[in-house]
Structure 1
């Protein structure tokens, strides 16, 4: 059994459990991962071999997170009527009768959070001189992937295409990229102290 098949089995087994966790636990996991990525990114940056391993790990995780996003949004969904909701933050207007509205928004943010944590290491392979441009490219890639997924869901009638999903997915990606921004600022401050 290859690595990806093992990972798929693990995801199938535990993803439902993750979505059932209380929201404060989910937020705690996000904050913990954000801190881990900041600390490891800073700690490994000046150690060439360790940073190369960290970068390869992140590239593999980026691919895995993309596959997970596709699995959660496109694969295994039954064909229904085409539904489209273009009104931004429509889900928030349903809170009075939809007990899952906040969870839905948060889970859409979380879905793209790992992609945001890992995609800057993929974009590092592109020769871009300014980190600001690199971060914008990372967030833009999350936006484009989200719009593509919502368009495919609408076209094939396999989900409700919503502006809320695009907004939350892009926000999740941006929150993940935030770890890279903090690392970059932290390294800049440390190098100016020397």
Structure 2
């Protein structure tokens, strides 16, 4: 009964909700651009750094956690996942008519790779395959959340 009333309310306010979500996506995109290219965690070094070995950085943080503070481990592992959950959600929302897990995931991976290459070219971070893995995991969680919400609200 409550779910039916909730669905009716969502249906009545669908346009307003979509506009709000698009505005939120725009703000999220601006924040992401700031965070990955300009923000306080960016390192500006004379040597460009990269890691092309999968799970090297993840393993380093997990096995040598005594070398790093909890904040550093959290930001580098959990933060890389959480930060990209909205991207998976919003890409699913933007392309909801053709929203298949594989297609949406591939688009997210393309965006993430562009970000990583951009950081490398601009020398504002480390091009790291582990970031791509963790960011993609976040996107897949976002896609899954979108699909669950869509199923709950639209069936």
TM-score, scaled to structure 2: 0.76
Kindly indicate whether the alpha-carbon contact (under 8 Å) linking 1:58 and 1:119 is maintained by their aligned counterparts in 2: no
Structure 1 residues 57, 48: CA separation in 2 closer, same or farther (over 3 Å shift)? same
Q: Is the 8 Å Cα contact of residues 44 and 50 (structure 1) preserved in structure 2?
A: no
Q: Deviations over 1:47-102 (max 9, x none)?
A: 44411211221112122212111111112546322101011122232231334334
Give 3-state SS (helix, strand or coil) of 2:13's partner: helix
User: Paired residues, what number?
Assistant: 143
Q: Determine if the alignment matches structure 1 residue 104 to structure 2 residue 76.
A: yes
8 Å contact kept, 2:44–2:124: yes
- Structure 2 unaligned segments of length 5 or more: list them: none
Choose between structure 1 and 2 for higher RCO, CA contacts under 8 A separated by at least 6 residues.
2
Select the residue among 40, 51, 54 that pairs with 2:14: 51
Change (3 A) 1:47 1:160: closer
Cα distance in 2 between the residues matched to 1:116 and 1:187: 18
Deviation, structure 1 residue 45:
7.2
Work out which of the residue numbers 98, 107, 117 in structure 2 matches 1:141: 107
Describe the SS at the equivalent of 1:84. Answer: strand
CA distance in 2, matches of 1:63, 1:103: 23
1:174 equivalent in structure 2: 140
Cα gap change, 1:45 to 1:103, in 2 (>3 Å): farther
Partner of 2:44: 79
Structure 1 residues 147 and 74: CA distance shift in structure 2, 3 A: same
TM-score by length of 1: 0.63
Q: Tell me how far apart the structure 2 counterparts of residues 89 and 78 of structure 1 sit (CA, whole Å).
A: 21
What is the RMSD of the two structures over their aligned residues, measured on CA atoms? 2.7
Residue of structure 1 equivalent to 2:85 = 113
